[in-house]
Structure 1
Amino acid sequence: MNDAALHTTRTGAESRGAPEQEPLLRVDGLSIRFDGAPPGVNVVDEVSFSVAKGKTLCLVGESGCGKSVTALSLMGLLPTPPARIVGGAAYFRGRDLLGLSEREQADMRGNRTAMIFQEPMTSLNPAFTVGDQIMEGILRHRKVSRAEAKERALEMLRRVRIPAPEKRLRAYPHEMSGGMRQRVMIAMALANEPELLIADEPTTALDVTIQAQIISLIRRLQEESGMAMILITHDLGVVAEVADDVAVMYAGKIVEAGPVEAIFDDPQHPYTIGLMGSVPSLGRRQGRLATIRGTVPPAELMPKGCRFTPRCPFADARCALEPPPLTELSPGHRARCWYAPLEIHRGDTA
């Protein structure tokens, strides 16, 4: 990782200064498969993580690694069929999210939990005004009049710093820019002051300047409310800036996880190292950027052993045959690799 990005990571002293908190959300061994997939191949496979109140967990990985499927399952938005949860549990304040009825999921969603999606133009209804769409969630979960819901919607547009909020309240999504639409999505998600926010690539469709503004806005609102956040992203610069903890996903499995400082200072899975090597530096470029050869394998071609084997520069016969466990290397820092720590077992080839 380049020095500029590393400089933005939170210091170890900041992380160690506060006592460890009880998780607001705990996911244990979550496994999801799609109908028609080969036997034993899950698109999300025994995924476990937790996030505490006020903290940010970043889920990192390429497209197709299972990050969004994981998030949708936690929100009760995974279409069944073709997707099916075949193992594990998820507890929100001790309550099993995966065991809720559809009505209970609807009561939870948009109220105590909320989600921001990648592309606001496909998430917002083009037939209704921005104000009506924000008000819908408020009226669904709060015992307020329509006038009070409208005032709350207006307040949220102000909080996300949309100019001329009274006018925007009456606007339709197509009348707004991409950055403004994403701010509307944030206003909708936070209108009922959720305890947990899941943000799925919230800046993907935006230009770099607007991306920075949206991330800054989300961080400010998180600090004001104390909510927990799961941020799904492939942007390691954003991860370095906002994460408390990081979980790196590859082909449905978490291959490395730990405090953000440990992941950036001492990455121990070849996939994590490859991701960091592909990040451009702000300084003078020394040679070509690193690349990770190949692509995430489809379900029908999933390797028997470590799923990263076909793309890994260190892989051998054992990697191809035996799936490695997620091993703790230091307090809170775990990696799914037979040869971690790499500087000991693969120092001659690293």
Structure 2
Amino acid sequence: MAAQRQSPLLQVENLSIRFDGAPLGINVVDNVSFSVAKGKTLCIVGESGCGKSVTALSLMGLLPTPPARIVGGTANFGGRDLFSLSERERADMRGNQTAMIFQEPMTSLNPAFTVGDQIIEGILRHRRISKAEAKERALEMLRRVRIPAPEKRMRAYPHEMSGGMRQRIMIAMALANEPQLLIADEPTTALDVTIQAQIISLIRRLQDESGMAMILITHDLGVVAEVADEVVVMYAGRIVEAGSVDAIFEDPQHPYTIGLMGSVPSLGRRQGRLATIRGTVPSAEMMPKGCRFMPRCPFADERCVNDAPPLAELEPGHWARCWYAPLELHRGGIV
């Protein structure tokens, strides 16, 4: 895939991840490549089970090994290949130069310690400052994420806070050491719609202030349209479409991307039933021989059954993995 106009902060090339026991040659993440530049947001989109979170965990060095194993590819971050670092080097980088926000803050925060102690611990791990200075930094972060009465909240335990408040705490922890790259894995999934909007707005504001790069993993195309610069659509471990947010939303070229677009409800008057994508993401044991989307694709034919399409560049910066892209030329203008 072509590089972004800006020099990328993170460049992932041909990342492949396999789980022990999977059929020979079947990877849960298969030859995935993308990049993200400083100050930019890359959104990775797809259903549960498509490999989004596994990709993110591999970049953070958090994949459980075994059963997961990186079997190919590189991830160049600031001139260093993340996959060649020692565990000590990864720990020094994690929470400092790179940070991650997870889906469910209640399982990410330690229920036995106050939120203040947990933020302070992360600061002291990476900064040579006194505990008093770390406490002041923690208070500053709570103010930045707009936690009311931060001095009081420093002494609170996670169970004493709402879901939205806990997610704000997680954001404060992630950004306390001013990382260059933030990975946010479905950060609003467990929250109600109003709080979701507040959290996304908060993350965007903090990104604008710091200039950090962000990888946002989500299935919410409304969020993607609002925050993304670049979009990667994944299905069954492979990238099926990638490009700028404008290219993906204005001219989607993979049947899976089109299906995702059609399944999003609108605020206007309903014009009929929402589109659905029949079936489910295949397991490793049931992976099709040809195109992995073939069993669910309304346009699949014999070629799709037998041959896996390459990820081809349709126009500068816009890629799709479909034998019949551009679809308007080969499938009678289905877009």
Query: Do structure 1's residue 175 and structure 2's residue 160 form an aligned pair?
Result: yes
- What corresponds to 1:326 in structure 2? 311
- Find the aligned partners of 1:349 and 1:245 in 2 and give their Cα distance: 24
- What corresponds to 2:132 in structure 1? 147
Q: Choose the corresponding residue for 2:191, options 201, 206, 209.
A: 206
Instruction: Supply the AA of the counterpart residue of 1:278.
Output: S
User: What's the offset of the Cα at 1:312?
Assistant: 0.2
Query: Do structure 1's residue 220 and structure 2's residue 222 form an aligned pair?
Result: no
Query: Do structure 1's residue 235 and structure 2's residue 220 form an aligned pair?
Result: yes
CA gap of 1:348–1:53, structure 2 versus 1, over 3 A, is closer
User: What's the offset of the Cα at 1:349?
Assistant: 6.3
- What corresponds to 1:124 in structure 2? 109
Deviations 1:49-85 (A, max 9, x none): 0000000000000000000000000000000000000
Q: Secondary structure at the match of 1:272?
A: helix
Is contact 2:327–2:334 with CA below 8 Å preserved after alignment?
Answer: no
- Find the aligned partners of 2:332 and 2:35 in 1 and give their Cα distance: 32
User: What's the offset of the Cα at 1:348?
Assistant: 6.5
Deviations 1:160-196 (A, max 9, x none): 0000000000000000000000000000000000000
Query: Do structure 1's residue 21 and structure 2's residue 21 form an aligned pair?
Result: no
Deviations 1:75-98 (A, max 9, x none): 000000000000001000121001
> How do 1:1-350 and structure 2 match up within 5 A?
20-347=5-332
- Find the aligned partners of 1:348 and 1:125 in 2 and give their Cα distance: 53
- Find the aligned partners of 1:172 and 1:237 in 2 and give their Cα distance: 33
Q: Secondary structure at the match of 1:268?
A: coil
- Find the aligned partners of 1:154 and 1:320 in 2 and give their Cα distance: 57
- Find the aligned partners of 1:54 and 1:263 in 2 and give their Cα distance: 20
- Find the aligned partners of 2:75 and 2:200 in 1 and give their Cα distance: 27
Instruction: Supply the AA of the counterpart residue of 1:226.
Output: G
- What corresponds to 1:15 in structure 2? none
- Find the aligned partners of 2:233 and 2:31 in 1 and give their Cα distance: 14
Provide TM-score, normalisation by structure 2.
0.98
User: What's the offset of the Cα at 1:222?
Assistant: 0.1
Instruction: Supply the AA of the counterpart residue of 2:10.
Output: L
- Find the aligned partners of 1:114 and 1:68 in 2 and give their Cα distance: 14
Q: Secondary structure at the match of 1:30?
A: strand
- Find the aligned partners of 1:232 and 1:38 in 2 and give their Cα distance: 27
- Find the aligned partners of 2:79 and 2:306 in 1 and give their Cα distance: 37
- Find the aligned partners of 1:20 and 1:315 in 2 and give their Cα distance: 35
Let me know the Cα RMSD of the aligned residues. Answer: 0.9
Instruction: Supply the AA of the counterpart residue of 1:153.
Output: A
- Find the aligned partners of 1:209 and 1:40 in 2 and give their Cα distance: 44
- Find the aligned partners of 1:130 and 1:316 in 2 and give their Cα distance: 55
- Find the aligned partners of 2:272 and 2:124 in 1 and give their Cα distance: 56
Q: Secondary structure at the match of 1:80?
A: coil
- Find the aligned partners of 2:333 and 2:200 in 1 and give their Cα distance: 40
Provide TM-score, normalisation by structure 1.
0.94
User: What's the offset of the Cα at 1:20?
Assistant: 2.1
Mark the runs of 5 or more structure 1 residues left unpaired by the alignment.
Answer: 1-18
Q: Secondary structure at the match of 1:110?
A: coil
- Find the aligned partners of 2:129 and 2:16 in 1 and give their Cα distance: 39
Q: Secondary structure at the match of 2:259?
A: helix
Identity across the alignment (%): 86
Mark the runs of 5 or more structure 2 residues left unpaired by the alignment.
Answer: none
Instruction: Supply the AA of the counterpart residue of 1:298.
Output: S
- Find the aligned partners of 1:280 and 1:273 in 2 and give their Cα distance: 14
Instruction: Supply the AA of the counterpart residue of 1:41.
Output: I
Instruction: Supply the AA of the counterpart residue of 2:72.
Output: G
Q: Secondary structure at the match of 1:334?
A: strand
Q: Secondary structure at the match of 2:261?
A: helix
